[in-house]
């Protein structure tokens, strides 16, 4: 349900009770300014946000590169070879 700011102020208890069932949108001049949600919904959002902001694969590889550099490890790469191009008119 959507409430105007004035309605939400006048009926705050009702807004809070209704938020237990579904999010309550508060608008000012038809623009959403707030949403009141149940504590459980907010906790789920916080957990989702924390998981999203957790360390990325790129962060893990960056740490792995640093560990390898600190320990002097070098990855042995095979010698590079030229091969035929799969595109017409591209030599070799």
Boundaries of every domain in the chain: 1-37, 38-71
Model pLDDT for residues 22-36, shown as the tens digit of each residue: 999 999 999 999 999
45-56 pLDDT, tens digit each: 999 999 888 888
Pick the CATH number of 1-37 from 3.40.1620.10, 3.90.550.10, 3.40.50.1360, 1.10.10.10: 3.40.1620.10
Looking at residue 25, what is its pLDDT? 98
Q: Can you tell me the mean pLDDT for 61-65?
A: 90
The distance from CA 3 to its chain's CA centroid, rounded to whole angstroms, is 29
Above 70 in pLDDT, residue 90? no
Q: What is the pLDDT of residue 51?
A: 87
Separation between Cα atoms, residue 80 and residue 92, nearest integer Å: 15
- Quick check: 89 pLDDT over 80? no
Identify the band that residue 4 occupies on the pLDDT scale cut at 50, 70 and 90.
very high
pTM exceeds 0.85: no
């Amino acid at each position: 349900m959507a409430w105007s700011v004035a309605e939400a102020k006048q009926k705050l208890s009702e807004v809070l009770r209704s938020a237990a069932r579904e999010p309550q949108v508060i608008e000012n001049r038809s623009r959403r300014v707030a949403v009141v949600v149940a504590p459980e919904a907010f906790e789920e959002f916080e957990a989702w946000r924390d998981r999203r902001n957790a360390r990325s694969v790129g962060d893990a590889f960056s740490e792995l590169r640093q560990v390898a550099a600190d320990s002097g490890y070098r990855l042995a790469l095979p010698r590079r070879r030229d091969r035929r191009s799969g595109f017409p008119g591209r030599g070799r």
